[in-house]
Each structure stands twice: as structure tokens, then as C-alpha cells.
Structure 1
Amino acid sequence: MKHLILGNGPAGVVAAETLRKVAPADDILMVGYEDAPPYSRMAIPYLLEENIDEAGTYLRKDPGHFERLRIRQLRGRAVALDTVKRKVLFDDGHFEHYDRLLIATGSHPVRPPIPGVDLPEVQTCWTLADARAIAALAKPGARVLQLGAGFIGCIIMEALAKRGVQLTVVEMGDRMVPRMMTPKAGGMIKRWVEDKGIRVVTSAGVERIERGSDVGSDAPLVAGLSTGDRLECDLLIVAAGVAPNVGFLDATPVHVAKGVLVNDHMETSVPGIFAAGDVAEAPDLFTGAHLVSAIQPNAADQARIAATNMARDSVHESRLNGVLAINVLDTLGLISSSFGQWWGEKAEAGGSGVEMVDEGRYRYLSLQFKDDVLVGATSIGLTQHVGALRGLIHGQVRLGDWKERLLANPLAFVDAYVARSQQPMALAR
């Protein structure tokens, strides 16, 4: 049987390795479109900080790793899929046939439709090529404008700050990390960042980017904000989010919404075609609604499940329990995290919550419940035992009278985890 894997990021690599374990005699072909070995995009900030070199971003450090596993590699970009003839057309004009197909094509950075966004000094930060371009321009003292203060934007911001640039961050939301943090938590992160010497402008956007020489400035670029401000910069980095790579699936029967829709076997609407990672839209742990969760742990879990099912002729045994949103962020030394439905449930649906705020010490905790189950949490400045929050949420642990205790004292979540999640094991004995 031939397995064709489109994408050689974390999902593609884990899937290929899993397939080799469960299908030792099968043919495995993994395709990536960049001129580099399989690497982790999450390591790019460390590359910009010069803590590692490019080889340090590689997912597998041994050059002969894939050859020894008999995992063939190919460079190319999928441009069309024929689900009837089971073949994929690549950008160089050649076809590859398959018996099982895994779509692990990942995402690409979104470039908002801003006049001037294609100027050379305007960069995204997503590939090794992007990192090289940023490193050439982000010298100490350089004026850098970053568009976006979401999860990816905050990771990039940390690397830029360590390069010694003059950094301004513009975010359209009313707070930093708006898709991960509550209003209070996002405001606390903003204050922390500003105390570190970074200017942050929220509830604003970049409306136009102009060549400095065209508007009477010595700077390479001048950015016009929705606030009316005009900022001179040597480099503008767009960190306005990502979108799944699904264009090659146009006119196919593979169902696509935001990403490729999959069931709990990670199989798409077309039998024999699977998807995993940033490109996959899988069922949520609590609601069953489909969502894209573009984080590496989820990508690895989905890839293992997809690969295990790809190796079987008909029986699907491996299932995804459900996607749990997980975000852990280090923003200039301030650790924050959010899990599950951190925004909470409506009261009429059984939702309730509690918030603990310590502005002076940059400590924050929000717990969100549905009935007596913890469904979401947000934290800042809490680095010990925060995994207990994930455990309670992922296990959908019924808290009983511990819910009232947590509403009175949110910091007792570790005690609640020990008391309630270990109880079934104790009774089993």
C-alpha cells in the first residue's frame, strides 16, 4: 500500500513515523514544498534570538533519519487532487498516485489587503526564508512595526525585543492576545509589555504602508494607522494570523470549511483521505463543533490517529477524543495560558465562573464552569501545577461540591484535581 503525505511539518513527520511502525512493509512518501529539511516553525523565534542556528529548527537532527525508516521524501507543492483516480498533481507537472492520502499541508500567514503590504521591507514570520529576511533588517536600534499581538505575534515580539530593536505593536483587538485571553488578562499582558519598553497600540490597524521617499521621509517605510498616527519604520512585520492551505482541494468532494473537515478518525468526507494538523478542522471536545486548533501537540496527536487508521483496510480503531484548545505563552518572561472554553458558557446553558486578579504581582486566574464541570481556564503568572487545569478540563471531571470551593478559592484547583480526578482510581482498588 502506498501512503502519500502532503506536508512535512510536525503532523507529516509524526504520521510518517507512525505509519512505519504500524505498516512496516508499506510505501511512504512525504512531500514538503520548502527547500529545507522538515523543521518546526515554533523554533523560528529562537533562531531570530540567535539561540540556535537553522539546523536547530530541524524536527529530526540526524540527516539519515528518514532514509533509515524508508520514508521517501519529495519537494513539491500540491496544486490539484483527483479523488477518483487517486492521484495528486504537483506544481512541477508530475502526478503521484496513492492508496491512502494524508493532508497535512499546514497554514500560511494572512496578508491583510493593505496598500503597500507587498513592499520588500514588509515581512511575515513563518518560514526560514522569512527569518533570514527579518534578521537582515532587524538590527539593534532598527525601528520595527509589528501588525498583530495574537499568539504568534507575541512569540515574534519576544525575539524582536531580544534583538534590541525599537518596537511598536499594533493590534486591532481591544487587548493583547484577544483570542486567548480575557479582557482583564489581555490588559495585564499589555501593561507588562509596555513596562518593558515596547509601545503597544490596541483597537487600531494599519491602513496604508508607503515608501518613505514618496512621502518626504528618510525612513524606508511610513505606516498610516487608523488612529491617524504615521509611524516611520525600517521593517514592518505582519503577524495577523494564518489560514489553512486548502486551495488545491477546490472542485473536489473533500469538504472544507475553515479547514479540512474530519471525523474522530481524522478521515475526511472522502474515504481513504485523512487530514491532520493546522489544516484539519476536527470536533471540539465539549461541543462536537468543528474547529482548527493550530498547535503542535494537537498536530502530533491527530497525526498518530490518522496514520494508525490509514494503515488499516477497513476497521477504524483509533479515535480522537476531541480537540482541546491549549495555549501557553511566554511574553517577555510573563507566562500565560488558556485551556478549553476560556471565554465561558452562557448562564442559561449552565455557565458560571470566577476571576482572581492580583495586578501588582501580575497574577491572574479565571475558571469557567458548565454545571459542575470545568470547561475553560485562563491564567497569568502561575507556573506550578497549571497542568492540573488541563487535566480537569480534558477529563471533563465532575467536581461536585468542589465547584463551590473553587468559586470561593480558585487557587485550590490542584486540590480539586487530586480529590476528584483520582477518585475513580481509588474506588477501583
Structure 2
Amino acid sequence: MNFVIIGAGSAGVRAAETLRENDPQASITLVSGEPGEPYSRMAIPYILNGAIDENGAHQRQSHHHLESLGIRYLNCKALQLHAGPDGGHVDLDDGSQLNYDRLLVATGSSPSLPPIPGTDLPGAVTCWTLEDARQIAAKLVPGARVVMLGAGFVAGVCMKSLVNSGAQLSVVAGRSGQILRSMMTPVGSHLLQRWLEGRGVEVITSGRTLRIEPGPRLVMDTRTIDADLIILATGVHPNVAFLEGTGAEIRSGVVIDEHMRTTVPHVYAAGDVAEGRDFSTGEWVVHALQPTATEHGRIAALNMTGKEVAYRGSLSMNVLDSVGLISHTFGLWQGIPTGDNTEVVDEANFIYTRLCFDSDQLIGAITIGHPHHVGAIRGLIQSRRHLGAWKDQLMKNPQLVMDALVDLNRG
């Protein structure tokens, strides 16, 4: 069997390893669209703050890991997939072609640039690749003026490293007026914003960005900001251009079934590029989470070898360190129309807990600044436990989650 994996992130590397574990004789080729060895994007903030060097970002610490498994590793970009009923081939940017019997699309995503002039000017950079990290690190000296355009999860991941470098950071949240809007209620966002402002971060929640000028300089309709560096953190999009014309169904990502198969024969997808099953809703969504990508890769590989292994779904979960203030979101943290929600906030101590219920089952939660019951929350959501009388107790006091879990397990 000839397996080809396009993309060497968490999903691709885990898939390659799983294929080898289950088919010792197969031909396996792993293709990375970036130079160097496979690395973890989640390590980039640790590179920026000096906690690790680039070698520390490698997914596997042995330089010969893939070679020792008999996995061919290429640094090329996929240009076009040519799929047939029994397999096909992929055109690569070095002019070569790769034939496959089974192919995995694990190409992840790329930054979406804001629709304004000047994003290609010197001093404007995304925060996504090792090369981005090198450019940012070169500018991170105490007093450097850094403007971050965007205030979502990608921006949140990078903020701590920027602040700890001594840079003067301004974050432009845009017209929504709310930071981390995709993973936080307005109450939680306000709490995080106050925390960031207390650590010297300027959070700009009004005004429209017009363009970037040489300097670089960010021009808004309300003000102009001179900077040493402008970081573009305005979202991502799936890397699917090479699938054009194949018949692959693509929405917010490549659509897959419960066995990670796409609508193209013998082509599978995993990781940030794929619409996988959501544990909470059963719907198909993109979960851009490293644990999800790793499990996607494993399940996809098992199915590629002929095993029928269904994916039960991933729990939407984000963990964010906002310059020392830890927040978590789980599952359906927005709640559902027919359910109940409760929340408690301690503004002075930056503590916030929100719980969301469907009847007497916990289905979603947010915590800020109080991580001690995070495991209990995740356990109750994933086990779909019926809380019984504990539901009313938690509605009155959300901080009793651990007590509820212990008591329910005792029974």
C-alpha cells in the first residue's frame, strides 16, 4: 500500500506514525509545505519569550525519528490533486509527482490577512510560522512599539510573550468592541481586558482600520499609530487550494464522515483543515485544537489501513494564558435556548465561572482565574452525567463543581 500525507503538523505526523504501526511494509510519504523538520505552532510563543529555541519546537526530538520508521519526508508544497477511482497522484512545487493508493489531507490553515492595503509592507507580519517567529523576535526589545491587529485566539496566544519582552503593546479589537469574542462572553472579555490594561496593554475597541503605511504605521479612521512592528492576527482559513476540481466538498473546512473520509475516493482529511464531529452537538465543525488534530490523525490512519474506526467527536476546549490570567472554555459555553445558565464573577480578584446546562447535564462552561475545578468540569461534560439534585446546587453556586463530581462518583 502506498500512503501519502500532505501536511506535517500534529495530524500528519501522528497519522504517519500510526500507519507505520499498523502496516510495517507500506510505503509512507509525509510532505511538509515548510522547510525544516515538523514542528508545533503552539510552541511559537515559547520561542518568542526565550523559553525554548527552535529545536524545542520540533514535534519529535530525534532528528532521525521519521527516517527510523521508514517514513519518507519531503519539504514541498502540494499544487494539485489528481484523484481517480483507485488512487491518484499529487503535483508538487518541485515539479515532481507523488502517486498514492490512500491520501490524507492534513494541510492545516493559513492566516487570513485583513482586507486593507499595506499588509505586504516591511514590518507587517503574521504570527503563524517559524519564519514569522524569527521576524517578530528580532523586533522584540524593551520599549519596542508593537501593534497587534486582531484580538481573537491567535492574538491571545501571542500576547504574553510580547508583554514579557518589554514591548509597548497595542491590540486593535475592531468594531466588535470585544476581545476574544469567539471564545468568551462579554462579561469574561471585559474581565480579561481589564487584566491586560492593568499590565500595560492598550486595548483599542473602537474605530476602523483603513491601511498600513511604510514605517510601519497603522492608519485608522480615528487615529494613526506608529510602530516598530505590526502583527496581523485576524483569523485563519483552511489550506485547500490544491483540492480544486477534485469534487471534495469544502465548507469551513474539508467535509469528512465519521471515518475521516472526504467525498473523494480514497482521500481522507484530518486536523485544522477538516470539519470533524463535535462531541457536544454531533455537528461537523472545524476544531483548531492540537489534541483534536492528533486524534484526527490517528483515527484517519487506522481507517486508511482498512480498520473501521468511527470518530466519536472532539470537545471544543480552549486554554489561554492572557499575560498570567488563565481562562478555559468548554463545549457549548454559549448555552442553548432551552437550557439554563449560571455565572458568578469576582471583579476584584479576576475570577469568573459560567456553567451551561441542558436539563440536568452540564454541556458548557467558562472559567477565568480559578483553574482548580477544570478537570471536574471537563469530566462532567464528557461523561454526560446526569446531575440530579446537584444541578440546582450548581445553579446557586457554580464553584461546587468538584464537590458534585466527587459525590456523583461516590454513588
CA–CA distance in structure 2, aligned partners of residues 210 and 204 of structure 1:
17
Letter paired with 2:389: D
> Counterpart of 2:139?
137
CA–CA distance in structure 2, aligned partners of residues 203 and 387 of structure 1:
37
Q: 1:323 aligns with which of 314, 320, 328?
A: 314
Find out whether 1:413 has 2:401 as its counterpart: yes
CA–CA distance in structure 2, aligned partners of residues 419 and 245 of structure 1:
46
Give the alignment of 1:17-28 within 5 angstroms.
Answer: 17-28=17-28
Q: 2:180 aligns with which of 177, 180, 186?
A: 177
CA contact under 8 A between 2:246 and 2:264: conserved in structure 1?
no
Find out whether 1:234 has 2:228 as its counterpart: yes
Give the alignment of 1:6-405 within 5 angstroms.
Answer: 6-84=6-84, 86-172=88-174, 173-211=176-214, 220-226=215-221, 228-312=222-306, 315-316=307-308, 318-346=309-337, 350-405=338-393
CA–CA distance in structure 1, aligned partners of residues 207 and 242 of structure 2:
34
The number of residues matched between the two structures is 408
CA contact under 8 A between 1:363 and 1:382: conserved in structure 2?
yes
CA contact under 8 A between 1:265 and 1:306: conserved in structure 2?
yes
How far apart are residue 340 of structure 1 and its match?
Answer: 0.5
Change (3 A) 1:171 1:144: same
CA contact under 8 A between 1:337 and 1:380: conserved in structure 2?
yes
CA contact under 8 A between 1:143 and 1:166: conserved in structure 2?
yes
1:124-171 CA distance string (max 9 Å, x none): 011111111112223221111101121110111111111111110101
CA–CA distance in structure 1, aligned partners of residues 91 and 404 of structure 2:
54
CA–CA distance in structure 2, aligned partners of residues 204 and 190 of structure 1:
17
How far apart are residue 73 of structure 1 and its match?
Answer: 0.4
CA–CA distance in structure 1, aligned partners of residues 367 and 88 of structure 2:
47
CA contact under 8 A between 2:258 and 2:312: conserved in structure 1?
yes
Q: Report the identity percentage.
A: 47
CA–CA distance in structure 2, aligned partners of residues 287 and 330 of structure 1:
27
> What SS does the corresponding residue of 2:296 show, helix, strand or coil?
helix
1:247-294 CA distance string (max 9 Å, x none): 111111111111011111111112321111110111222322211010
CA contact under 8 A between 1:171 and 1:205: conserved in structure 2?
no
CA contact under 8 A between 2:268 and 2:300: conserved in structure 1?
yes
How far apart are residue 56 of structure 1 and its match?
Answer: 0.8
CA–CA distance in structure 1, aligned partners of residues 336 and 177 of structure 2:
21
CA contact under 8 A between 1:175 and 1:203: conserved in structure 2?
no
How far apart are residue 38 of structure 1 and its match?
Answer: 0.3
How far apart are residue 345 of structure 1 and its match?
Answer: 0.5
Q: Which moved more, 1:132-141 or 1:180-189?
A: 132-141
How far apart are residue 93 of structure 1 and its match?
Answer: 2.1
1:218-258 CA distance string (max 9 Å, x none): xx2221224x1111111100011111101111111111111
> What SS does the corresponding residue of 1:86 show, helix, strand or coil?
strand
Structure 1 ranges of 4+ moved more than 4 A: none
> What SS does the corresponding residue of 2:183 show, helix, strand or coil?
coil
Letter paired with 1:366: R
How far apart are residue 5 of structure 1 and its match?
Answer: 0.4
How far apart are residue 206 of structure 1 and its match?
Answer: 2.0
CA contact under 8 A between 1:366 and 1:379: conserved in structure 2?
yes
Letter paired with 2:381: I
CA RMSD of aligned residues (A): 1.3
CA contact under 8 A between 1:171 and 1:204: conserved in structure 2?
no
CA–CA distance in structure 2, aligned partners of residues 38 and 176 of structure 1:
31
CA–CA distance in structure 1, aligned partners of residues 95 and 139 of structure 2:
36
CA–CA distance in structure 2, aligned partners of residues 204 and 413 of structure 1:
41
CA contact under 8 A between 2:36 and 2:75: conserved in structure 1?
no
CA–CA distance in structure 2, aligned partners of residues 75 and 57 of structure 1:
17
Letter paired with 1:242: V
CA–CA distance in structure 2, aligned partners of residues 222 and 120 of structure 1:
11
Letter paired with 2:267: I
For structure 1, the residue ranges without an aligned partner over 5 or more in a row are: 212-219
Normalised by the size of structure 1, how large is the TM-score?
0.92
> What SS does the corresponding residue of 1:386 show, helix, strand or coil?
helix
CA contact under 8 A between 1:170 and 1:205: conserved in structure 2?
no
